[in-house]
Amino acid sequence: MADSDPDRRKFLQIATCAIGGGVGLVVAVPALQLISDPAGKQTITSPSAPFDLGPAERFRVGEPPRKIEIVAPVIQDAWTAARDVVLGAAWIRRVGPGANEIDARSATCPHLGCAVGWDAARGNYLCPCHDSRFAASGDKLTGPSERGLDALPVQIVEGRLKLTWERYRTGQSTKERL
Ligand code: FES
């Protein structure tokens, strides 16, 4: 049977549109939130807080440098979080008896980024990739690297060694932070 009441027909049209629009919003709002959600959040790609490398007294004058892996407990960006991420490594050496006389060098070769090792027989650092050598002080000795090993910021706080991890551009003579 045909509906002959115009008011009733209009009411049904409006009600149908309202219900349809409501259903559309219920679906669209969460979808838009999902797509745009990370846009307003802070993206963290590397930790800026200093790493606690333990008691400073464990590094003694005259001992060879000690390699310490720098591991971030959590690396997080807007989409994912990863735990125990190895960022790189640092060579730590006590250069004098004073409280702050600790030297830290990035183990990342300034030439093209290979991992630099300690050559105990020769008392200096060697990069196995292209044979760059660096003195115990970090200064460049031989090889294609255009600069010495990069010093990393360290400080001693209440007897504990704190290191700030930084990365530098490779393949150039100047130290430039990434
Ligand atoms: S990467 Fe170290 S010498 Fe080339």
What is the model's pLDDT at position 64? Answer: 96
Kindly give the number of the ligand 1 atom that is closest to the alpha carbon of 144.
3
Q: What pLDDT is recorded for position 19?
A: 67
Predicted local confidence at residue 13, as pLDDT: 77
143 pLDDT higher than 50: yes
By C-alpha distance, which of 159, 145, 154, 170 is closest to 65? 154
* 110 and 71 share one domain: yes
List the beta strands (DSSP E) in 41-147: 51-55, 66-76, 81-94, 102-106, 117-119, 124-126, 133-134, 140-142
CA distance 34 to 75: 21
Same-domain status, 58 and 27: no
pLDDT of 23: 60
Angle, CA of 108, 114 and 118, to the nearest 5° = 70
Residue 75 shares a structural domain with residue 122: yes
In a domain, 171, yes or no: no
Residue 177 in domain: no
Residues 59 and 131 in one domain: yes
Structure tokens at 141: 């000795």
Query: How many angstroms does the Cα of residue 41 sit away from the middle of ligand 1?
Result: 37
Residue 46, in any domain of the structure: no
pLDDT at 39 over 70: no
CA 20 to chain centre: 48
96 shares a domain with 148: yes
Q: How many domains are contained in the chain?
A: 2
Lining ligand 1 with CB less than 6 A are 109, 111-114, 127, 129-130, 132, 143-145
Domain of residue 151: give its range: 51-163
Does one domain contain both 59 and 137? yes
Tell me the mean pLDDT in the region 19-45: 53
Domain-embedded: residue 120: yes
Quick one: 118 and 88 in the same domain? yes
Whether residue 168 lies inside any domain: the answer is: no
User: Which stretch, 3-7, 11-15, 47-51, has highest mean pLDDT?
Assistant: 47-51
Which pLDDT score, from 0 to 100, does residue 53 have? 93
Please report whether residue 173 resides in a domain: no
CATH of the domain at 94: 2.102.10.10
pLDDT digit string, tens, across residues 55-83: 999 999 999 999 999 988 877 777 888 88
* Shared domain check, 146 and 67: yes
Is the pLDDT score of 21 beyond 80? no
Within a domain: 175 = no
Helix, strand and coil percent figures for the chain, each rounded to 5? 20, 35, 45
Q: Which atom of ligand 1 is nearest to the CA of 132?
A: 3
Is 178 among the domain residues?
Answer: no
pLDDT of 26 > 70? The answer is: no
Do 129 and 121 meet the contact criterion of CB atoms below 8 Å apart? no
Write the residue with the smallest CA distance to atom 3 of ligand 1. Answer: 130
Task: Specify whether 32 is located in the same domain as 75.
Answer: no
Q: How confident is residue 49, by pLDDT bands cut at 50, 70 and 90?
A: confident
Mark whether 32 and 62 lie in a shared domain: no
Does 34 lie in the same domain as 105? Answer: no
The DSSP output letter for 172 is S
